[in-house]
Amino acid sequence: MKFFLDTANVNEIKRINDLGLVDGVTTNPSLINKEGRDFKEVISEITELIDGPVSAEVTSYDYEGMVEQARDLSKWANNVVVKIPMTEDGLKAIHTLSKEGIKTNCTLIFSVSQGIMAMKAGATFISPFMGRVDDMGEDGARLIAELRDVIDIYGYESEIIAASIRHINHLEKAALAGAHIATIPGSLFEKLWTHPLTTAGIEAFVKDWDAFESRNK
């Protein structure tokens, strides 16, 4: 399973990338807005840091605008993937861009039928939003599992990015449901490698070693 970082914070990306855990990055207009920095500058810095795919989202919502923006974004770096929302215009844009060899990530997917449409249109990645599906009282993990079944049955080449991951359980369920990738906020990432029993175990070892050393001085 691959891990992407769901953030536009360059320092966060540097820190976690140094652990060898980052296969790619996803951003969206809300994450870019949070950083309060120039869009192109942030994406360029991220694409230099990370070898894998870096999603940058269009901010136009009509077909012509999306395609024009996508062509521009794809020139910013070789590893830019253009994020396109799941709409009729979005599907048409994905179809056009896939014929031009521009990689796309179809975002804001909440149903199996939306996922199938994006795969058929030629999306490189599809992003079902687990957390927001759960917020609706539905089952985000089941959505991922069913999308994976569709891929396995029909041989679509799109990869599933489990998005809107809010806690460890989401990540574990996404892994078991067969998501190819999970995109994880930086704040959650460090919770994946920490455990209260590990912390308590280290504290006990430090205390006992101090006791051992003071006895043997």
Sign of CA dihedral 115, 118, 123, 129: negative
Beta carbon nearer to ligand G3P, 28 or 104? 28
Which residues 140-169 are close enough to bind ligand G3P by CB under 6 A? 163-164, 166
**Rounded distance between C-alpha atoms, residue 168 and residue 61, angstroms:** 33
Q: What would the two tokens of residue 133 be? A: 């599906």
Pairing state between β 159-162 and 24-26:
unpaired
Tell me which of 14, 37, 71, 132 binds ligand G3P, using CB under 6 A: 132
Q: Is 27 a residue that touches ligand G3P (CB under 6 A)? A: no
Number of residues that bind ligand G3P (CB under 6 A): 10
23 sits near ligand G3P (criterion: CB under 6 A): no
- Taking the least distance from each CB to ligand G3P, the nearer of 129 and 189 is 129
Do 10 and 46 form a contact (C-beta atoms < 8 A)? yes
In the three-class reduction of DSSP (H, G, I as helix; E, B as strand; rest coil), residue 13 is classed as helix
Q: How far is the CB of 71 from ligand G3P (least distance, A)?
A: 24
Q: Assess whether 83 carries a catalytic annotation.
A: yes
Task: Mark residues 49-68: x for contact with ligand G3P by CB under 6 A, - for none.
Answer: --------------------
Stretch of 12-20, 61-69, 126-134, 144-152 lying at the interface with ligand G3P (CB under 6 A) = 126-134
Task: Tell me how far, at minimum, the Cβ of 163 lies from ligand G3P, in Å.
Answer: 3
Q: Are 147 and 160 in contact (CB under 8 A)?
A: yes
Instruction: Say whether residue 183 binds ligand G3P (CB under 6 A).
Output: yes
C-alpha distances in angstroms, 127 versus 25, 36, 48, 192, 193?
Answer: 13, 25, 23, 21, 24
Cβ–Cβ under 8 Å, residues 79 and 53: yes
Round to whole Å and give the CA distance between 46 and 44.
5
Residues designated catalytic: 83
Could you list the residues that contact ligand G3P (CB under 6 A)?
6, 26, 28, 129, 131-132, 163-164, 166, 183
